[in-house]
Amino acid sequence: MAQHATLTVERWSSFSPVQQILMIANEMNRAKRLFSPLDKKGVTLCYERILYLTDLTIQSNPRRGFRKELLRWRDLAAEEYLSLSRNNGISESDMNRHLNIFRILLLMNPESAKQISMIVRS
């Protein structure tokens, strides 16, 4: 998690909500690529960064409805993180859940939703 350890709420607040979503999506995409070689440690570290960036987004966003939806989404990401931490390996069903969580994140904003066809297979 050292990659984002020095990132503050103040700095994160300087990005628009769509930029924040896309930066979280970047970590989701990084995790997606690590499913291919079945790098459980790498995927787990990505999820730690995903949760950290999500927490920063929740803290820095004044829009109540957006925060509420993001908190719901965070529950999905946290559940997946815990599931990956408990299991010995990574399976196809883990990848499918990851892609569904990824798709839901991108649907939170019309601009980020445009990325779905390029990033997440249907």
What is the distance between the alpha carbons of residues 60 and 54, in angstroms, rounded to a whole number? 10
Residue with tokens 């993001």: 70
Residue 50: closest CA among 69, 72, 31, 71: 31
Q: Where are the domains of the chain?
A: 2-119
pTM over 0.75: yes
Residues 28-76 pLDDT 10s: 999 999 887 678 889 999 999 999 999 999 999 999 999 999 999 999 9
For 22, residues 6+ apart whose C-beta sits below 8 A from its C-beta are 111, 112, 115
